[in-house]
Structure 1
Amino acid sequence: MRYISMRPRILVKAATGLLFCMLSVATAAQQTARFPTISLTAGIHVIKAEVAAKDAERQQGLMYREKMGVNEGMVFLFEAPAGVCMWMKNTYIPLSVAFIDDDGKIINIEDMQPQTTESHCAKKPIRYALEMNQGWFKQKNIKPGMVIGGLPKP
């Protein structure tokens, strides 16, 4: 009769389960990672904005977030003025995006629906995009032509 110890199998299963749990936690943490924040101004309103300046940060954006504070948002910084389009894949919060030129002037504002791949584009080359909870710009009477203050320099 052959005897096969169950102990190695149990240890392998336990190690595999532990590794899976660690990877799941790391992935979830990465998906909801917070970026450095700055204060921006839109008229009399102060915005606490996370800054997405690197390519990987811009790709991640606000994906997997389930909520965002009333005056919180995310500003996307691009290396040079460019034609930019935004979309909402894996983004659970309805957002409005303001496309902003080199001087901080809002070019256009678009509303975006959660979990869609529909493109929302700047009407001309821009340096920044500022995402806020959907309707924030309208509620605060912030319109194209107005200036966003405190934007980071590239």
Structure 2
Amino acid sequence: MTVTLRRAMLALLLFAALPLAAVRAEPLTIESGGEAHVFDVDVARTVAERGRGLMFRKEMAEDYGMLFDFGGEGEVSMWMKNTFIPLDMLFVRADGTIHRIAARTTPFSTQSIPSRGRVKAVLELKGGTAGRLGIAAGDVVRHEVFGNAE
């Protein structure tokens, strides 16, 4: 095979694999005050995905979020390094209950934002979303990560 033919075949294989590698947004619902708020979320399941998170994004849809799945419950800490937009961080227990909310976190801050308790996941939403929708500690997040999706 010539070098050109090999490169063309490799490019074709990579192009065909793109849909498999694309991140697919998943539905997530927060039950709060008798209302159901639906978001499309990307789920960060690997160390690399959790490490990158929402870094370098300069805008975010009102109904979008990122769910960081830590696998098991434990105390976790987040930060805002290389994050351009304020976020609401919802620290969520294994049963889907919101443990605490760090609202409107400061862009680019390297200050630790702790869970202050054992959680399974952190949901990041556009800054101000929790307050605007009345989402609070004790509300329930429904998603397959918590085994309570409907």
Query: TM-score by structure 2 length?
Result: 0.77
**Number of the residue aligned with 1:115:** 108
- Selected match of 2:97 from 92, 95, 105: 105
Unaligned runs of 5+ in 2: 1-21
Q: Counterparts of 1:117 and 1:129 in 2: how far apart (Å)?
A: 17
Counterpart check, 1:89 vs 2:81:
yes
Partner in structure 2 of residue 37 of structure 1: 25
Structure 1 residue matching 2:110: 3-state secondary structure: coil
State the distance in 1 between where 2:79 and 2:116 align.
Answer: 15
> Following TM superposition, by how much is the alpha carbon of 1:153 offset from its aligned partner in structure 2, in angstroms?
5.2
Corresponding residue of 1:69: 61
Aligned to 2:132: 139
Aligned pairs, how many?
Answer: 122
C-alpha separation in 2, matches of 1:123 and 1:150 = 22
Q: C-alpha displacement at 1:71, in angstroms?
A: 0.8
Q: Displacement of 1:41 after TM fit?
A: 0.5
Secondary structure at 1:152's aligned position in 2?
helix
1:149 aligns with 2:137: no
One-letter amino acid of the counterpart of residue 36, structure 1: R
Q: CA deviation at 1:126?
A: 0.5
The structure having more radius of gyration, on CA atoms, is 1
Identity %: 35
What residue identity is the alignment partner of 1:97? M
Output the amino acid matched with 1:41: T
Give the direction of change, closer, same or farther, for the CA distance of 1:42–1:153 in structure 2 (3 Å limit).
Answer: closer
Q: 1:117 and 1:81 mapped to 2: Cα distance?
A: 23
Displacement of 1:74 after TM fit? 0.3
Which residue matches 2:41?
Answer: 49
Change (3 A) 1:113 1:148: same
